[in-house]
Amino acid sequence: MNLYYLFIALTFVAVVLFLEGAYLAWNSYKGPESRRIERRLRSMSAGAHGGKQASILKQRLLSETPAMERLLLRIPRIHRLDRLLQQSGLNWSVAFFLGASALAGLGCFLAGAMLSHLAITGIVLGAAGAVLPLIYVLRAKRKRLLKIEQQLPEALDLIGRALRAGHALQNGLKMVGDEMADPIAAEFRITSDEVNFGIAMQDALVNLTLRVPSTDLRYFVIAVLIQRESGGNLTELLDNISAIIRARQKLVGTIRVLSADGRMSAWILSILPFALAGIINIINPNFLAPLWNDPVGVKMVMAGTVMMALGIFWMRRIIKIRV
């Protein structure tokens, strides 16, 4: 009887230890801490330059499937696309992005072919659908860079206060990563980690500019690199850069307010023809039928679309003022 109870107790301990070991193994590979480290390594790999980063880290950025990784690695300059995804802040891999583009293009092609019964319409809609994920990524990148530029003056002030308190520049970068909000905190954490891992400060800052292609951030990096070569008061230099960035952002805001009328006119003139054509087609479908059935009408629609695209392009160039 004692052996029976001893066997039950040992079995219970063995099951508990097995479950604990399984949990620890899962947590090591799929847990929150593991995923956080993986995201940091992926971001650092995307910012690497000059072949300093191990190739295995670069491959992890492309796909979770080894066969797909090997296939994507054969594409020239595929890591530029990966860097774009990293700059957008989206948790997308290259394989996921290409798959989403293919599915969107195929769906739009089939929809256009079924609705119009014309192959050219399906091809045009398919090409437009394939570009939709890229437009979404570029929009996410632009919003993220704008948020980083808005946070940058405060980050420079924080680094300046850390330097006045006697801390080194690396500690100032770490303070920005620990005390500020994302997305700028994540980028400065990656830079601090790179320095801790043995990468030179100059290379880590260059990697920062590769991950965040912001003009204001380049001013900060260039100023730090020049100061490290020639010397000078880095604290005063950071204060001046912060003041310049704030003044520039204020001027950009003023320009956006003054150009709001032009942007609204551009939107109205761009949407009005399509909205009017849709309303007329609903009220009297036969009125616009020659545009779709007659070859001359199709050519007129294509020519009008090209001219509208050129007009939109020039209107954007007119109202887009660089500061």
Averaged confidence pLDDT in the chain: 76
| Residue extents of the structural domains in the chain | 146-252, 259-323
Give Cα 115 to chain centroid, integer Å.
Answer: 34
pLDDT tens digit sequence for 65-121:
666 666 766 777 777 777 788 788 777 777 788 888 888 888 887 777 776 666 666
Give the HSE-up count for residue 138: Cα atoms under 13 Å, Cβ half-sphere. 5
Angle between helices 169-179 and 184-196 (to 10 degrees): 140
First and final CA of the chain: distance in angstroms?
Answer: 87
At residue 187's C-alpha, the angle toward residues 196 and 97, to 5°, is 120
Residue 231 confidence (pLDDT): 74
Say whether pLDDT at 214 is over 60: yes
CB 151 within 8 A of CB 217: no
Tell me the average pLDDT across 230-250.
Answer: 84
DSSP state of 75: S
Distance CA 258, CA 98 (A): 39
Give the HSE-up count for residue 310: Cα atoms under 13 Å, Cβ half-sphere. 6
Distance CA 172, CA 71 (A): 42
Angle between helices 78-88 and 119-164 (to 10 degrees): 60
Site of tokens 């405060």: 154
* pLDDT confidence tier of residue 54, bands split at 50, 70 and 90: very low
Distance CA 306, CA 99 (A): 29
Name every residue whose Cβ is closer than 8 Å to that of residue 254 and which is 6 or more positions away in sequence: none
Could you name the CATH architecture of 146-252? Answer: Up-down Bundle (1.20)
At residue 11's C-alpha, the angle toward residues 10 and 17, to 5°, is 90
Say whether pLDDT at 155 is over 50: yes
DSSP state of 31: S
Q: How many contiguous H segments (helices) and E segments (strands) does the chain have?
A: 15, 0
Max CA pair span of the chain: 98
* pLDDT confidence tier of residue 28, bands split at 50, 70 and 90: low
How would you class 294 by CB atoms within 10 Å of its CB: exposed for 0-12, middle for 13-18, buried for 19 or more? exposed
* pLDDT confidence tier of residue 31, bands split at 50, 70 and 90: low
Distance CA 21, CA 29 (A): 13
Distance CA 151, CA 187 (A): 12
Residue 59 confidence (pLDDT): 40
Angle between helices 66-73 and 94-116 (to 10 degrees): 80
CB 126 within 8 A of CB 105: yes
Side chain identity at 306, as an amino acid letter?
A: V
pTM of the full structure:
0.63
